[in-house]
Amino acid sequence: MTGSAVKRALSTLGFAAVAVYCLAPFYWMAISAFRRPQDQFDNTLVPSRWSWENFSAVFSGDNGFGRALLNSVIVAGATTVLTLLIGTFTAYALARLDFRFKNAVLGLIVATTMFPGISQLVPLLKLFTDIKWINTYQAMVLPSLGFALPLSVWLLTAFFRQLPFELEQAAMVDGCTRGQAFRKIIIPLAAPGVFTTAILTFIAAWNEFLIALSMVNKKEMQTATVAISKFTGVSGFDQPFGTQMAAGVVVTVPLIAVVLVFQRRIVAGLTAGGVK
Amino acid sequence: MTTTESAPAAGTAAAGAPRGRGKGDVQGTRRLAALLLSPTLLVLALVIGYPVLAGFRESLYARGEGLDADGFVVEGDRFVGLDNYTAIFQGDRADAFWNAFSNTTFFTLTTVVLETVIGVAMALIMQQAFRGRALVRASILVPWAIPTAISGLLWRWIFQADGAANAVLRQEILWTADGFPAKAAVVIAEVWKTSPFIGLLVLAGLQMIPRDVYEAARVDGAGPVQQFFRITLPLVKPALLVAVLFRMLDVLRMFDLPAVLIGVNQRSVETLTMIAWFEASNLRYGSAAAYATVLFLYVALIAYLFVKLLGADIIGEARGRTRRARPVRTARGRRRAAA
């Protein structure tokens, strides 16, 4: 009786420790965002006076943060759509068709996820400078595809494999072509997997920093992550932490909401892929 | 290869008749596979394959700033052979390289070890069936969902001279200045972000272990510690190895976190990616490409050693499943596995 009570208390304690470890820094960011700028360096756990001043500073004219958010949506969205469009076909082939070198192709695609981004960046930076692509969306989307695509092909392959082969074969016996069987049977069945892959790809593309930092030098084309890191304070030499924390909250809260809503799907995707 | 002969066969297959498993079907499948694979392979060739080759070529050139034999200023790129590489390892730049190299290695070793230990501990805690489980599982995804650049800022805020870290520790450490505290700050921030993720993967591995294995061990008189080292660890090893491999490769190319948390071109935290980026942003493409190539080789070497020595099998699961689904093909699968 007492033994189980102790065990229960210990596991509660463990749970609390894990939750605090994961949430405390995020809590600090959120709470700092709600402080008044003059209270910024208070170390109280709750702001003495709550204020939206930092948030209005984020969206004030000279930061161009609204535009940066829009850029992030465009870049991450385009990367996700293109990745799914291309990746689904490849994953279908790898999961459902029999052909030589199948494992070699899958291995090659997986191997590209290990590729250090900087090796890709230097030549592409030079190429994009030559063809005047610097400060364009495609200059950010295209390199991102190089990382998003292998990951999603791998995930989708894992999802497609889990579907029963018989359904597709039955459809083909009933007169469907492979294409029809794919469109009418596989895609609807795989929809949850495709959706999971879409979320993971979008998050990864949204979090991208190195490519966006290098391919763009115009303020209007910056993505949100880059824009926040370049916020300048009112006083010039000081880091405007209040504004940055507020911007951080604006960027992360939607992500965290999505993550919480689709928690199960995301965990399934992460454990299927085992990456990032 | 066989496209010309298979064209008519594929034509009939595409016509859509539910044909038997004739030769035409096999060739049609092959054609379809090639068709479906080509967009991905094309994109990867363009944004990964081309840069590998172009980067290597680039690393053999330098921006023309010198004079030629007749005393004219040479414009454009100039072939310099391996000069960019020797410059990395020799002279005044060698110091910067070895510093970046040892920083990269230091970050990789410390963060991967720490996050593995913390992650496994988290997984063991979360495995206890309890009501708060869903909440903890949700909170574990929060550090993962925060963009690395933002978490760099977040930790920069925490590590301010009069920030939260010093207030909690009652110390006056200048974390984001130079030296060892800066390294420690990067390690702490990185471990915070990634160890929950390892925990999640290990938890998934733990849940695959059947309960009766533990019951049998308990009957045989094994204590919790023995159970952990003799059962849990060996059984989650495959999942853990893949997670650790990917984490290692990720830290080896680290850029966002130290760049935002401490800053670029800071000795104490400069990684190989950062030094290459700095060169590229100063338009020294040849030298940047040389650094990138060295990093590429380092990453490849680590991945190779890891897979060889510890036997991390990245597509193994996939291969196993294919074999089970297609028992007819076992002979070929076995041959490939042996090779």
Average pLDDT, chain B: 79
In the chain, the amino acid numbered B290 is A
CB contact under 8 A, B136 and A86: no
CB contact under 8 A, A124 and B36: no
Sign of CA dihedral B115, A143, B147, A231: positive
pLDDT in tens, A186-233: 888 888 889 989 999 999 999 999 999 999 989 889 999 999 888 865
pLDDT in tens, B146-155: 999 999 999 9
Q: How many helices (H) and strands (E) does chain B have?
A: 17, 2
B8: which 2 tokens?
A: 């008519």
| Residue B201 near residue B214, CB atoms below 8 Å | no
**Rounded CA separation B161/B154 (Å):** 14
pLDDT in tens, B242-288: 888 888 989 999 999 999 988 888 888 999 999 999 988 888 888 89
Q: Number of C-alpha atoms within 13 angstroms, CB side, residue B333? A: 16
CB contact under 8 A, A94 and B37: yes
**Rounded CA separation A94/B200 (Å):** 27
Q: Choosing among B153, B252, B335, which should be mutated to test the A contact, i.e. which has the most A CBs within 10 A? A: B153
Task: Kindly list the domain boundaries of chain B, sorted by start residue.
Answer: 35-80, 88-315
Q: What is residue A185's predicted lDDT score, i.e. its pLDDT? A: 82
Report ipTM (2 d.p.). 0.89
* Confidence check: pLDDT of A144 > 60: yes
Q: Using pLDDT thresholds of 50, 70 and 90, give the confidence band for residue A176.
A: confident
Cβ-defined contacts of B77-84 (< 8 Å, 24+): B77/B286, B80/B286, B84/B59, B84/B60, B84/B286, B84/B287, B84/B289, B84/B290
The packing angle between helices A263-273 and B180-207, to 10°, is 100
pLDDT in tens, B109-150: 999 999 999 999 999 888 886 677 778 888 888 999 999 999
Q: What is residue B295's predicted lDDT score, i.e. its pLDDT? A: 93
**Rounded CA separation B263/B274 (Å):** 10
pLDDT in tens, B25-46: 677 788 888 888 889 999 999 9
Second-level CATH architecture of B88-315: Orthogonal Bundle (1.10)
| Residue B175 near residue B181, CB atoms below 8 Å | yes
A51: which 2 tokens?
A: 């204020």
Q: Using pLDDT thresholds of 50, 70 and 90, give the confidence band for residue B13.
A: very low
Structure-token match 């990634």, residue found: B194
CB contact under 8 A, A14 and B125: yes
Q: Using pLDDT thresholds of 50, 70 and 90, give the confidence band for residue B229.
A: confident
| Residue B141 near residue A259, CB atoms below 8 Å | yes
**Rounded CA separation A128/A118 (Å):** 15
Average pLDDT, chain A: 86
Domains and CATH numbers, chain A: 1-53 (no CATH), 64-230 (1.10.3720.10)
Query: Could you report how far apart the first and last alpha carbons of chain B are, in Å?
Result: 24
Our CA dihedral for A43, A48, A49, A54, rounded to 10 degrees, sits at: 10
Least Cα separation, residue B97 to chain A (angstroms): 16
Q: Choosing among B46, B157, B246, which should be mutated to test the A contact, i.e. which has the most A CBs within 10 A? A: B157
Q: Using pLDDT thresholds of 50, 70 and 90, give the confidence band for residue A164.
A: confident
**Rounded CA separation B182/B161 (Å):** 12
Q: What is residue B69's predicted lDDT score, i.e. its pLDDT? A: 64
